[in-house]
Structure 1
């Protein structure tokens, strides 16, 4: 596939996190970008301002004149624009098929994992930017330091979030890969945990022969990848907090308000004391991975730690949106039981004297069905739980699974209720929260709108 200035690529699902970032890269390279999506979004407005032709809704004529079409993982083969493109002889690609052409000529640094990959990708990008390496990058969220999810840099490396969904990451052949953890998710695509592990094994096998795998030793499946690569003569490093055998460790981890700090050690040597504006052991692990990866690019651990002191959380990654009337609001993308538990524990430690509310927007019916028992037990650290309607995304409803039933099941463990609208959720919190309170929004959909309802001028 030829990706050159003047070529026209049309995106079906341009408003999504993955495709919007690629569109931004192509615009930065002087290409013609058009795209469509079913609903408007801030990222689509931004892309239009940068020169993309953006359409709300879908129609066959939107693909006219395109040299190629890139379709989101959520777009079926019988989609009107996909069908039209193929009828016109316009090649249609998925992200996995698109990535090699996009990354050609770059030293590729890929960050994969069930959890933490967006934050780790953003941290690594930020460190390299501070070191003057000016990488190109694609992050699965809006970086707090750049207000972008992607950009074309002048440097020779490309930092990319390697998404496992739809096997996108199998389109990569990285020079360096981080694997933060491996856990079953996306049950609509990966039927079993074994399927997930197999996909990550294939991803690790695609690291270039002289490349490096950096894997989290605190996650046994990720550590197994490192051991396997070493056994085959490849290069691998491990990092961790609890694993004493990790090559790199974060030790003496301490919380300080909404931040944290830890010491970086390797081989009995202390390299630096790192300070983050983010709380939680999981964020210390993310930072450690980014520091080790940046060192491979010639950035000292001490220099990288200094850069992380100025790191701002990526959007919707334990993002403290603000406080009003004694209610602090944290917005997070958590949509898996493991991530929800970790974020609630972190919120409890960060605000120990406050009443803790969780707002959960369940994401996809298949995920709720597969991890139902785990979700019910994930909210034990909360004082109150509000459950909004399930965000179906690409799916049809599954009989027997509803947010009202989920709320009733959770209420057997802690007080929970179903709120049919976002306004209902905000009204309930304003009326019933015991100040001071903390609200953690757990949503990979659109429930982040509740933050505006709680913090806005009309709150």
Structure 2
């Protein structure tokens, strides 16, 4: 099937088209035949991939990039009001469409699975995209990261299923009306938008309220925030709630997760059926993500055994414990983890996957607001490493906050017994790490900013 293109999105202009969420929507629209244009701050492989699909991608932000015949301007919450292209849109009286509303329109008429949670959205969405594709169902998907296999974050498929990552950070996931929703967890994060756990709970309740009548919520039975969400919504009319996890009362009960190096074997009971399948990425949290994906697919009527086998073909997402290479006997791995829960999970996963190896971490904090609220917990998580280098805060969309620096994390890490070094000049990191690393060590570059660029540079230094 080939859904049409809403009139407002026939000639869209994307401000920040190279971003993970924006580029996915632009790719799908281009594949559906829209005349896509946009701008981004710098050249990238994503920009080239969009051009290969026929999109016009400008570098830099100037008013002249917005064509007079554009049908709308698409923005994310990161775009500031004084952006010259947004100002030009107002002068042209062009509709301004938020990224989430554009994505919601792409799901219309399809059986949608929306994957939400403070952590694990990208991985779980990717697992479903890969597994459903492997079963020949040709889904459409929009993900916040690039798959290792297809090498893209989005695609228009001819099937009737659309799998989408649902971002809670700015409440934009309230725009979606899925047939199946997954809530992996609910924790306090994105402190610029949420002041308390109560606000988080209310936001996720609103998201669940958007599930189509007769639809299904797949929700963790293990994580406290998800359990509280279940308590609040379980009695809603026309909603089926399916819990999953290691808790004894889980509807989809995980009976065992057995690590085997960089893979895991997972045993579950689903609908009275015992299943054992392989997850080809390390870590308990990734195994549980696969179980959530399994439960969601079954809710759409996909046979459990077929889907379980297909989930084993998933090999990862870029930046989610992605092996960047090996040099001088040292493996360099990239992690997107930037919240203490994610950091702990990835560090524990690497400990379990490579017992006996030293674990060296290069951590770049992400956002001043997150560091202000969670810096102490980040430092405690880094104590799981044998040694770590901490960079200055990556600001992303935020302005600096007085007194908020990476020292908050470094002090907490030292108090927890960590061997930690502050590195203020990112260019020094490859040499620092190469001087620390020994054959057999694992080096983990960690964070949601441009710390990912350091992996190849570290490998070069190690090679020399």
SS at match of 1:184: coil
Separation in structure 2 between the aligned mates of residue 322 and residue 276 of structure 1, nearest angstrom = 21
SS at match of 2:382: coil
Q: Bigger CA drift: 367-376 or 400-409?
A: 400-409
2:382 paired with 1:372: no
Q: Structure 1 regions of 5+ residues with no counterpart?
A: none
Aligned to 1:410: 413
Deviations 1:378-397 (A, max 9, x none): 11211101111211001111
Checking the alignment, whether the CA contact within 8 Å between 1:229 and 1:235 is kept in structure 2 is no
Deviations 1:275-331 (A, max 9, x none): 111111101110001111112233222211211222110111111222211211111
2:382 paired with 1:392: no
Aligned to 2:335: 332
Separation in structure 1 between the aligned mates of residue 228 and residue 404 of structure 2, nearest angstrom = 35
SS at match of 2:58: strand
Separation in structure 1 between the aligned mates of residue 340 and residue 440 of structure 2, nearest angstrom = 26
Aligned to 2:451: 447
Aligned to 1:275: 278
Aligned to 2:172: 168
Separation in structure 2 between the aligned mates of residue 74 and residue 136 of structure 1, nearest angstrom = 25
2:158 paired with 1:154: yes
Aligned mate of 2:30, from 23, 27, 30: 27
Give matches, 1:212-361, under 5 Å. Answer: 212-233=216-237, 234-241=239-246, 243-266=247-270, 269-270=273-274, 272-361=275-364
Deviations 1:174-217 (A, max 9, x none): 11000000001111121222211111110001101111100010
Q: Bigger CA drift: 64-73 or 151-160?
A: 64-73
SS at match of 2:87: helix
Q: 1:39 offset after TM fit, Å?
A: 2.3
Aligned mate of 2:21, from 18, 22, 31: 18
Q: 1:248 offset after TM fit, Å?
A: 0.4
Checking the alignment, whether the CA contact within 8 Å between 2:205 and 2:233 is kept in structure 1 is no
Separation in structure 2 between the aligned mates of residue 190 and residue 392 of structure 1, nearest angstrom = 18
Separation in structure 2 between the aligned mates of residue 4 and residue 399 of structure 1, nearest angstrom = 46
Q: Structure 2 regions of 5+ residues with no counterpart?
A: none
Checking the alignment, whether the CA contact within 8 Å between 2:5 and 2:29 is kept in structure 1 is no
SS at match of 2:333: strand
Aligned to 2:147: 143
Separation in structure 1 between the aligned mates of residue 16 and residue 245 of structure 2, nearest angstrom = 37
Separation in structure 2 between the aligned mates of residue 372 and residue 21 of structure 1, nearest angstrom = 31
2:196 paired with 1:192: yes
Q: 1:405 offset after TM fit, Å?
A: 5.3
Aligned mate of 2:426, from 401, 422, 428: 422
Q: 1:454 offset after TM fit, Å?
A: 2.1
Aligned mate of 1:83, from 87, 95, 103: 87
User: TM-score, normalised on structure 1?
Assistant: 0.96
Checking the alignment, whether the CA contact within 8 Å between 2:125 and 2:164 is kept in structure 1 is yes
Deviations 1:7-54 (A, max 9, x none): 210000111111010000110011011111222222112112221111
Q: 1:218 offset after TM fit, Å?
A: 0.5
Separation in structure 1 between the aligned mates of residue 119 and residue 396 of structure 2, nearest angstrom = 20
Checking the alignment, whether the CA contact within 8 Å between 2:363 and 2:388 is kept in structure 1 is yes
SS at match of 2:171: helix
Checking the alignment, whether the CA contact within 8 Å between 1:361 and 1:389 is kept in structure 2 is yes
Give matches, 1:195-210, under 5 Å. Answer: 195-210=199-214
Checking the alignment, whether the CA contact within 8 Å between 1:6 and 1:30 is kept in structure 2 is no
Q: 1:421 offset after TM fit, Å?
A: 3.2
Deviations 1:244-277 (A, max 9, x none): 100002222111111111112135541x211111
Deviations 1:312-365 (A, max 9, x none): 101111112222112111111101011001111111111111111111110010
SS at match of 1:378: helix
Checking the alignment, whether the CA contact within 8 Å between 1:354 and 1:435 is kept in structure 2 is no
Aligned to 1:62: 65
Aligned to 1:71: 75
Q: Bigger CA drift: 211-220 or 191-200?
A: 191-200
User: TM-score, normalised on structure 2?
Assistant: 0.95
Q: Bigger CA drift: 7-16 or 292-301?
A: 292-301
Separation in structure 1 between the aligned mates of residue 460 and residue 35 of structure 2, nearest angstrom = 37
Q: How big is the alpha-carbon RMSD for the aligned residues of Structure 1 and Structure 2?
A: 1.8
Separation in structure 2 between the aligned mates of residue 269 and residue 16 of structure 1, nearest angstrom = 41
